[in-house]
Amino acid sequence: MVGIVMTRRGFIDASGAASAASLAAIAVPALAVLEASSSARVMGQPMPDGVKLPSTPGRRKRADSVGIAIVGLGGYALNQMMPRFAETERTHIAAIVSGSPDKLQRVGDAYGIPPDARYSYEAYPKIASDKRIDAVYIVLPTGLHAEWAIRAFAAGKHVLCEKPMALSSADCERMIAASRRADRKLMIAYRSHFEPYNLEAMQLMKQKAIGDIRLVRTEQSSRMGPTSPSKNWRVNRALAGGGPLEDYGIYGLQSALYLTGEMPESISATTFRPTGDARFAEIFAHVSSQWRFPSGAVAQLVTSYDSAGVNFAQVRGTAGALMMDPATSYSGQKMRLEGRDARELAPCDPTVQFARQLDHFADAVRDNVVIRTPGEMGLRDLRLIEAVYASAKAGRTVSLASDGSVRR
Ligand code: NAD
């Protein structure tokens, strides 16, 4: 698809390669308003709280199972993703990469990772000659995704990268270019695209189960305890960008796109950052934006690190409404239709999302299956995040090109 300017619909599907024209689109410096107190670099951390290591190591099920090196042994890797490899058909943990010798030993022993497949960050380039590793899974703080993904491509490995893809569209473009140069796959770990409730919601919206979509509302919020940028990467500008929007507000952003099936043509946003609160010395407390779509539908997206917890998506159409609450959690999803076809919906266990995502990546690596959540989708979303910040900074509505970049 290189050389073809994608349509608004093309950027919603975002399954093809980004076009040369789109990569050259106007870049808006994200977050120029915020200062970072430090730069983004890897730093070993202690074992997170509440980690339950397995009592027996996992086993690969198939000869063509994709061997994955986990890069970053934090809460999400250890509590959510690594235990899920046992549920996959076609992936296994081949190696681990961490700055903590203690975690390398304890996690390596529990998961049966051979000692010579336990890498420090300094030893990372050596994965190039380790034939047991087909791919890496980047689960580092977001400000480190681009560097460590690009280094993985340089080592000839495929990359599964946690969301958000990076902290700027420019970094996303560098990652896509590196994946193409290396001729290796790049997938963004947007788990909702593998989660049965969200998949059914996408289908229902396509089938016009609520008529024509008029309004979308999403919110992801929680209240962060006392902390500061030197103690917690999630409030550190260099590692977390603007904060809640990149962290979990991106789920609301994604929902608005895949439920409407449209790209917005304009965005109007506002941010808030209280003074004298160490949590918000470098990031925003709340980010709120209003999007207008070509069909006339309007979306309101709210996300906060300083208000009581919630995670919902609501879509209102001409013949009913779709209510998802919680909408994009690890488990416990609830969803119902109101209006013409009113009913509770419970497709199947939402926790299959983790293993299905990993197997989809394996199918892309082994069988060249088209990736549902490619780097181009991550790039599209970073452009929209930049548009949100550009609007808030300018104090006006910004118009968007079809690829999500801000029109001058
Ligand atoms: P975390 O703080 O629990 O773990 C981060 C890990 O990265 C640390 O344990 C450490 O091993 C490593 N690290 C290396 N350099 C570091 C540095 N300078 N500062 C801090 N840690 C450093 O974070 P997490 O919740 O595991 O998040 C990691 C990534 O996973 C992020 O990109 C986040 O957005 C993503 N995530 C995704 C989901 C999801 O549902 N898909 C959920 C949580 C987190």
| Model pLDDT for residues 230-280, shown as the tens digit of each residue | 999 999 999 999 999 999 999 999 999 999 999 999 999 999 999 999 999
What burial class does residue 298 get, using C-beta atoms within 10 Å of its C-beta: 0-12 exposed, 13-18 middle, 19+ buried? middle
- Mean pLDDT for 88-102 is 98
User: Is 156 a domain residue?
Assistant: yes
From 98, 140, 222, the mutation candidate for ligand 1 (largest count of ligand atoms within 8 A of CB) is 140
pLDDT tens, position by position, 116-154:
999 999 999 999 999 999 999 999 999 999 999 999 999
pLDDT tens, position by position, 152-201:
999 999 999 999 999 999 999 999 999 999 999 999 999 999 999 999 99
From 37, 51, 80, 139, the mutation candidate for ligand 1 (largest count of ligand atoms within 8 A of CB) is 139
Residues with a CB atom less than 6 Å from ligand 1: 42-43, 45, 48, 72-77, 98-99, 139-142, 162-163, 189, 191, 233, 247
The candidate with the shortest Cα–Cα distance to 70, out of 58, 174, 215, 296, is 58
Q: What is the pTM of this model?
A: 0.94
Omega before residue 46 within 30° of 0, cis:
no
User: Is 146 a domain residue?
Assistant: yes
- Contact in structure between 157 and 127 (CB atoms under 8 Å): yes
- As a whole number of angstroms, the distance between CA 254 and CA 193 comes to 10
Do 204 and 313 lie in one domain? The reply is yes
Do 34 and 149 lie in one domain? The reply is yes
- As a whole number of angstroms, the distance between CA 291 and CA 119 comes to 44
User: Is 12 a domain residue?
Assistant: no
The candidate with the shortest Cα–Cα distance to 198, out of 339, 352, 75, 317, is 352
Residue 29 has pLDDT above 70, yes or no: no
Task: Supply the CATH number for residue 47's domain.
Answer: 3.40.50.720
- Mean pLDDT for 276-285 is 98
Q: In the predicted model, what is the mean pLDDT of the chain?
A: 93
Do 180 and 303 lie in one domain? The reply is no
Do 107 and 161 lie in one domain? The reply is yes
* pLDDT bucket at 28, cuts 50 / 70 / 90: very low
What is the residue range of 257's domain?
A: 193-347+379-399
How is residue 294 written in tokens? 């070509």
Strands 66-71 and 91-97: parallel
* pLDDT bucket at 305, cuts 50 / 70 / 90: very high
User: Is 226 a domain residue?
Assistant: yes
User: Is 125 a domain residue?
Assistant: yes
How is residue 185 written in tokens? 């796959």
Terminal alpha carbon distance of the chain: 25
Nearest atom of ligand 1 to the alpha carbon of 190: 41
Cα angle vertex 139, ends 150, 113, to 5°? 100
Q: How far away, in angstroms, is 106 Cα from ligand 1 center?
A: 18
Kindly compute the dihedral angle of the four CA atoms of residues 333, 355, 262, 283, in this order, to the nearest 10 degrees.
80
User: Is 360 a domain residue?
Assistant: no
* pLDDT bucket at 341, cuts 50 / 70 / 90: confident
Do 137 and 181 lie in one domain? The reply is yes
* pLDDT bucket at 7, cuts 50 / 70 / 90: low
Residue 382 has pLDDT above 60, yes or no: yes
Nearest atom of ligand 1 to the alpha carbon of 42: 15
Residue 228 has pLDDT above 60, yes or no: yes
Do 87 and 229 lie in one domain? The reply is no
* Residue nearest (by alpha carbon) to ligand 1 atom 2: 74
- As a whole number of angstroms, the distance between CA 91 and CA 357 comes to 10
Q: How far away, in angstroms, is 74 Cα from ligand 1 center?
A: 5
Residue 13 has pLDDT above 70, yes or no: no
* Residue nearest (by alpha carbon) to ligand 1 atom 31: 141
Nearest atom of ligand 1 to the alpha carbon of 248: 34
Q: How far away, in angstroms, is 328 Cα from ligand 1 center?
A: 18
- Mean pLDDT for 64-83 is 98
From 39, 47, 162, 247, the mutation candidate for ligand 1 (largest count of ligand atoms within 8 A of CB) is 162
- Mean pLDDT for 305-333 is 98
Q: How far away, in angstroms, is 297 Cα from ligand 1 center?
A: 35
H or E element: which one contains 304? strand 298-304
Give me the active site residues, please: 163, 251
User: Is 201 a domain residue?
Assistant: yes
Q: How far away, in angstroms, is 117 Cα from ligand 1 center?
A: 21
78 bridge partner residues: none
- As a whole number of angstroms, the distance between CA 100 and CA 95 comes to 14
- Contact in structure between 192 and 254 (CB atoms under 8 Å): yes
Helix count and strand count (H, E) for the chain = 13, 15
Residue 328 has pLDDT above 90, yes or no: yes
Q: How far away, in angstroms, is 48 Cα from ligand 1 center?
A: 10
- Mean pLDDT for 100-128 is 98
Give the three-state DSSP class for 187.
Answer: strand
Nearest atom of ligand 1 to the alpha carbon of 330: 40
In the chain, the number of structural domains is 2
- As a whole number of angstroms, the distance between CA 144 and CA 171 comes to 10
